[in-house]
């Protein structure tokens, strides 16, 4: 059903993908103070990959992603769980946010950020899982051509 797109789409997708991904990371990082955050950033990234898929097809998407979308979900959950541990280490109740300043760069790092990265990965992973699963069933149906 889904075939490689037109020239305009192909070029647009190739140019837009890095921009969209960059934008999603930007949204993710600024999310704590400005509109954005892991969920929104994850949706933007999923949109970027989906556009790429419409332009170049299932196999190209798989080659570019390298990892299975389901592994992304698992990694997201892992990040989410990891962000709960530092509080434990500090002897504070489960999930208490911890804040550090990275020495040289002066950036603030925190467990909520780690958690947000987890949300980001889980969202990208599950949207892509659903989309690739749908595409794969199409392939089964069409494989008889």
Partner 1 sequence: MQLAILAGFVAAGLAPLLHRWFGAKTPLLMAVLPAAFAVWLATLWPSLADGKSLLLEWAWVPGLDITLTFLIDGLSWLFAMLITVIGALVLVYTGEYLKGERDLPRFLVVITAFMMSMLGLVLADNLVALFVFWELTSITSYLLIGFHHTDPVARKSAQQGLFVTVGGGLALLAGFVMLAQAGDSWSLAVLTERGEQLTGHALYTPLLICVLIGAFTKSAQFPFHFWLPNAMAAPTPVSAYLHSATMVKAGVYLLARLHPALGGTEPWEMTLSLVGAVTMLTGAFLAIRNTNIKKLLAYSTVMALGTLTMLLGIGTEGALIAFVTFLLAHSLYKGALFMVAGILDHETGTKDVTAMGGLWRVMPRTALVACVASLSLAGLPPLLGFIGKELMLTSVLATDHYGGLILLLAFTGAFLTLAVAAIVALKPFFGLRRDTPNTPHESPAGMLVGPALLAVLSLLFGLAPGMLDSLVETTVSGLGVVEPGVHLTLWHGINLPLLLSVASLVLGSLVFRYWDGIRGRLALLDPLIHRGPEHGYEMLMAGMVRFAEWQTRFLQNGYVRNYLVMTLLVLLGLVGHALLVRHPLEIGFSVDAYFHEVVVAGLMIAGALASCVMRSRLAAVAAVGIMGFSIALIFVLFSAPDLAITQLLVETLTVVLLVLVLFRLPRFATLSTPKERWRDLVVAGSFGTLMTLLMLSVLNGDQLSRISDYMVSNSQPLGHGHNIVNVILVDFRALDTLGEMFVLALASIGVHAMLRFHAAEHDASHGLSGRREDHG
Site for partner 1 contains 133 (CB under 8 A): yes
Element (H, E) at 135: helix 111-142
d(CA 77, CA 71): 10
Residue number with CB closer to partner 1 (10 or 87): 87
The residue count of the chain comes to 145
Residues of this chain, 49-68, that bind partner 1 according to CB under 8 A: 50
Residue number with CB closer to partner 1 (10 or 74): 74
Site for partner 1 contains 75 (CB under 8 A): no
DSSP designation for 66: -
Q: Considering only 6-14, 15-23, 57-65, 124-132, which stretch makes contact with partner 1 by CB under 8 A?
A: 124-132
Residues of this chain, 81-120, that bind partner 1 according to CB under 8 A: 81, 83-84, 93-95, 97, 99, 108, 110, 112-113, 115-116, 118-119
Q: Which long-range contacts (CB under 8 A, 24 or more apart) does 18-24 make?
A: 20/44, 20/45, 20/47, 20/48, 20/51, 21/45, 21/48, 24/48, 24/120
Taking the CA atoms of residue 135, residue 139, residue 141 and residue 145 in that order, the dihedral angle to the nearest 10 degrees is 150
Q: Which residues in this chain contact partner 1 in the complex, by CB under 8 A? A: 1-2, 31-40, 43-44, 46-47, 50, 69-70, 73-74, 76-77, 80-81, 83-84, 93-95, 97, 99, 108, 110, 112-113, 115-116, 118-119, 122-123, 125-127, 129-131, 133-138, 140-145
């Amino acid at each position: 059903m889904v075939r490689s797109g037109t020239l305009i789409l192909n070029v647009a997708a190739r140019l837009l993908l890095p921009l969209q991904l960059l934008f999603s990371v930007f949204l993710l990082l600024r999310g704590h103070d400005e509109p954005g955050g892991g969920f929104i950033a994850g949706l933007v990234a999923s949109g970027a990959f989906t556009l790429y898929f419409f332009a170049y097809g299932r196999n190209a998407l798989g080659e570019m992603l390298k990892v299975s979308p389901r592994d992304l979900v698992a990694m997201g959950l892992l990040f989410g769980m990891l962000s709960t541990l530092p509080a434990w280490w500090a002897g504070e109740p489960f999930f208490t946010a911890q804040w550090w300043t990275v020495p040289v760069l002066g950036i603030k790092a925190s467990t909520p950020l780690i958690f947000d990265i987890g949300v980001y990965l889980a969202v990208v992973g599950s949207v892509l899982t659903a989309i690739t699963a749908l595409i794969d069933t199409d392939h089964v149906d069409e494989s008889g051509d």
